[in-house]
Amino acid sequence: MEYEVISTDLMKNEDERKKFDVWIVFFKDEMLDSLRDMGLNLEKVISYLKASGNFEPLAGDVSSLVFVDGQAIVFVGFSPRTEERDLGRTLELMRISGGLLSDKLKESFKRSPKIGFLLPRIDNKEVEIKLLATNVEGILLKSFSDHYLKSKDRDKIGHPLNAAKITFFVPHPFTTAVKQELHQVITMVKWTNRARWLSNLPPNIATPTFIANKITEFAKDIPSVHVEVLTEEECQKLGMGSFLGVTRGTDEPAKFIKMEYRHENAINEKPFVFVGKGITFDSGGISLKGREGMERMKHDMQGAAVVQSLIFCVAELELPIHVIGITPLTENMPSGRAYKPADVVTALNGKTIEIISTDSEGRMILADALAYAVKYLDPELIIDVATLTGGVVVALGGQAMGLFSNDEQLARELLELSWMTERAWRLPLWEEYDEYLKTDVADFKNTAGMVASPVNAARLLSHFVDDRPWVHLDIAGMAWDPPAPRKKYLGKGATGAAHRLLTRFLIRKCEENH
């Protein structure tokens, strides 16, 4: 997608207006005078749309496609709804309207159109530029086109917006601010969609080796990201007995990927470390899952895909920050060599874990990744992302990710941002939950069953971060096939959960320290 941001002054030129296949007009009632000043007399068509019940100028509403003087126009509501008391909800409505708008454009254009976005007037710079950018976020998330594996679809180009030429017309004093906001959003969604693409790939393609090769390939285009791939033999020398316990059951070689981006003027001396769970297919191992829904376990590496995309996104944005991504990758499979219930493994930090269920493998690979971060990277903070437990789906459904933390300030920062991006809900991490992890033969057991399963999983992980500020995001309920209303802008398949939240977190960190 190509785009530019220019002044609305050019809208007064009728020849300029006729260059576009379709106009997207952001509208609230106060904008009529601004439209008249540009020579756009749209009062009658707006009145008709309102009277017919087809459109209200409220956030979340999108009109049908209408024709004025031979040009296609779609109106997007821009006024916050009176019943919505917070900006976060209004932003979500703008994402939803972006998803609806994306669908309308796909239905109306078989080729890539030339699109003009018009924001006739800005009354509140801080809010309204965000509303515009968030609508674009919804459009681009919904226009995500997966890699085609159906033979009859191989020659399709996907969503027409992917190759569209878009011009944003905004009032002259705000063009620079709009450019900056759109650059951040478009780059963020580009890498969110890259994580979704990787997560949607079938597991016979997206093996640990394939992913490691892809990450190395992507890094050639963004040389500020340094990639290091550790083999199983190298992990063995480091003492990653917990990670390697899981890898034993599969014939696919495991990989342990470290990615690093460090800006020369980084705001942080010690790195912010992000850890992503990378189970490229989870059969459950010896504790075999039931057949119902097992095909969705190709998404069990989405935490890793999100972390990998996050590092590339931050580098492309050239944020003044130092970040490291750690992603252990393996399948979890049954075999004669697979780890089994009653086994005891020793993690990198020397702590021992008794295996109760081999289907609680995510925490096993994360334990060594977290311990690696503490021992070798000296992090300022650690955030891990994982499709970790079915219990968090029971607790929160598909509307929020579970957030656990040993640091109040870090938790507050992410929770505040989550209401503006992707919702999270904090769950307890009390010491009392260690009682559920006690065993006679090791320091911990890897699961206490269904009792408080998301909490107990997080509590186990907490023993591998020492006293470093840490957040664990359990994205199991948010990672694929989102329910309404998020389905309106995310569609089916992988969502790239937590990528947008964490990108916004790092952008804010940079803004606060510059």
- The catalytic residue positions are 289, 363
| CA distances for 498 relative to 67, 312, 502, angstroms | 39, 15, 6
What are the distances in angstroms from CA 278 to CA 28, 208, 309, 329, 369?
45, 8, 13, 4, 11
Q: What's the CA gap between 76 and 20, in Å, rounded?
A: 17
What are the φ and ψ backbone dihedral angles of 6, each rounded to 5 degrees?
-135, 170
Paired strand residues for 282: 332
Q: Are strands 352-354 and 344-346 parallel, antiparallel or unpaired?
A: antiparallel
401 beta partners: 424
Strand partners, 262: 322
Comparing CA positions, the residue from 280, 144, 253, 139 lying closest to residue 199 is 280
Rg of the Cα atoms in the chain: 24
Task: Calculate ∠ Cα 309-311-317, nearest 5°.
Answer: 100
Q: How far is CA 454 from CA 68, 363, 393, 494, in A?
A: 55, 11, 9, 21
Distance CA(395)–CA(372), nearest Å, equals 30
The answer to whether the beta carbons of residues 82 and 121 sit under 8 Å apart is: no
Contacting residues for 384 by C-beta, under 8 A, at least 6 apart? 274, 275, 276, 277, 303, 366, 369, 370, 461, 470, 471, 472, 473
The strand pairing partners of 71, in sequence order, are 68
Conformational region of residue 27, where left means phi above 0, alpha means psi within -120 to 50, and beta covers everything else:
beta
d(CA 383, CA 394): 23
Three-class SS of residue 363? helix
Three-state DSSP string of 172-224: HHHHHHHHHHHHHHHHHHHHHHHHHHHHHCCCCCCCHHHHHHHHHHHHHHCCC
Going by C-alpha positions, the residue among 98, 260, 66, 294 that lies closest to residue 189 is 98
Assess contact for 216 and 312: CB atoms under 8 A.
no
Distance between CA atoms of residues 308 and 234, nearest Å:
21
Neighbours of 418 (CB within 10 A): 23
CA distance 416 to 390: 25
Task: Identify the DSSP state of 58.
Answer: B
Decide if 342 contacts 440 (C-beta within 8 A). Answer: no
What are 169's two structure tokens?
Answer: 């017309």
